[in-house]
Amino acid sequence: MKSSSAASMSSSEPFIISRPPPEGGRFAAGMIIASRYRLDHYLARGGMAEVWAARHEGLRSDVAIKFVDESLARDALTAPYALERFRFEAQISAKISARTRHVVAVHDAGENEGVPYLVMELVNGHTLEDEVERHGALPMARLAEVLDQVADALSAAHELGIVHRDIKPSNVMLVDEPSGELVVKVADFGVAKSLRSDLALDRPRETAVGELVGSPAFMSPEQIIGDMAVDARSDLWSLGVVTYEAVTGASCFEGANVPQLMMSIGRGIYRPASQVKADLPRGIDAFFARALAARADERFASAREFASAFRALIEPAPRRPRGLLIGVIATLVVVACVGLFALRRSPPAKAPAPAPSGALIIAPPNDTPPVIEPPPSAAPTSNVAPTARVTTTSRVKPTASAAPPLPVVTPAITTAIASTPPPKVDPPRPKKRIDPSEIQ
């Protein structure tokens, strides 16, 4: 629905909508509908309806009234179906609008001289289609805000088991409030489908298998083939096409006629967005590859996931909170201080007692402490040679099974070493081990 507000070339103001009512129509400005709504001016015409701005005479409030196309209302075959559709749209719109403000709310429904009508919220804004046609591709940040709110509307519908089946730019309303806030509303649940039977709705008769429902350029592959198992993921595919056209300013799927267009959709033939508009962020092509996947199970799982993935293209990954980093550093400092305090409090290791003068240090060829042979109390005389010769040979590598027993030094050798004044030599190094079996 479009407004006839003041003229402006800026996207922050509603656009001029100046369309004459259809010639020969049965509605005109000033007419009273249902004894309480006065028609003011003609707004737009859709596939099966026309919309007028009106005023509730009792409440003094502005509304929009959507009338079924007169040709449908007068046809004996289509009139019952059109009435069922209008009643169903009013019921589901009321349920969804109770959950979110991002759908066009329906206030009333009825018939006027045999023509069904809906009384809806009057949105003083413009459509996404109008904005792209007038200004070209949307800035990424603005489009991210649009998608966040469309996702909120679709999530509310999908949670109720309602599939819109006609998501397209002309059904996305944009309102730039004087405060600077952008408000987005999804309109026209006229061909919606209910997947649940517990909502107390007057469900209209289903379309026949193979019958097309929706707008061809925005219909998912499963809609094209008339699949009765269409679910919420079909709306997400259509939202992918809407996003592509809003971000590039160009059509997504193309064809010289409807059959060629449907063939392009079925085969997934479209130009990568990065080739249409070179300044798009990295990852945009991967985003659309998932959004427009031919298989429903390869698409985004929900409308909120769709919107979050798009926003992630333009926003950097969240930085780690500064408080968390400070906490980690403080913890490390405390641990270091505790360790240092414990190290200072621990008793120092006792140094080994020095060996008595003249003692012979014998170290076995393993890691056991060296054995110190004390010097004898008296040095008996002996004819043994005054020196002991140590021969350096290859050391036998000890086995890992058990440490060998300590060797016994003969008294003769001990007496000989003790009775002779020790030569002035450098003290043995602590780590050097002498195998007793090598002493000759």
| Cα separation, 216 vs 254, whole angstroms | 11
| Cα separation, 410 vs 372, whole angstroms | 14
- Given the structure tokens 């006229």, which residue do they identify? 190
| Cα separation, 330 vs 79, whole angstroms | 75
Runs of H (alpha helix) within 116-231: 128-135, 140-159, 221-224
In the beta sheet, which residues pair with residue 183? 175
| Cα separation, 220 vs 267, whole angstroms | 11
> How many other CB atoms sit within 10 Å of the CB of residue 289?
14
Task: Report how far apart, in Å, the C-alpha atoms of 43 and of each of 18, 26, 97, 123, 397 are.
Answer: 8, 15, 22, 11, 103
> How many other CB atoms sit within 10 Å of the CB of residue 73?
23
> How many other CB atoms sit within 10 Å of the CB of residue 336?
10
> How many other CB atoms sit within 10 Å of the CB of residue 366?
12
- Is the CB of residue 14 less than 8 Å from the CB of residue 20? no
| Cα separation, 89 vs 230, whole angstroms | 18
DSSP string, 34-77: TTTEEEEEEEEE-SSEEEEEEEETTTTEEEEEEEE-HHHHH-TT
Where do the DSSP E strands lie in 104-215? 106-112, 115-121, 126-127, 162-163, 172-176, 182-186, 193-194
| Cα separation, 169 vs 163, whole angstroms | 17
Residue 333 DSSP SS3: helix
CA atoms in the 13 A half-sphere facing the CB of 431? 0
- Is the CB of residue 283 less than 8 Å from the CB of residue 317? no
279 is catalytic: no
Catalytic residue, candidates 130, 166, 188, 235? 166
| Cα separation, 331 vs 328, whole angstroms | 5
| Cα separation, 397 vs 390, whole angstroms | 19
The catalytic site residues sit at 166
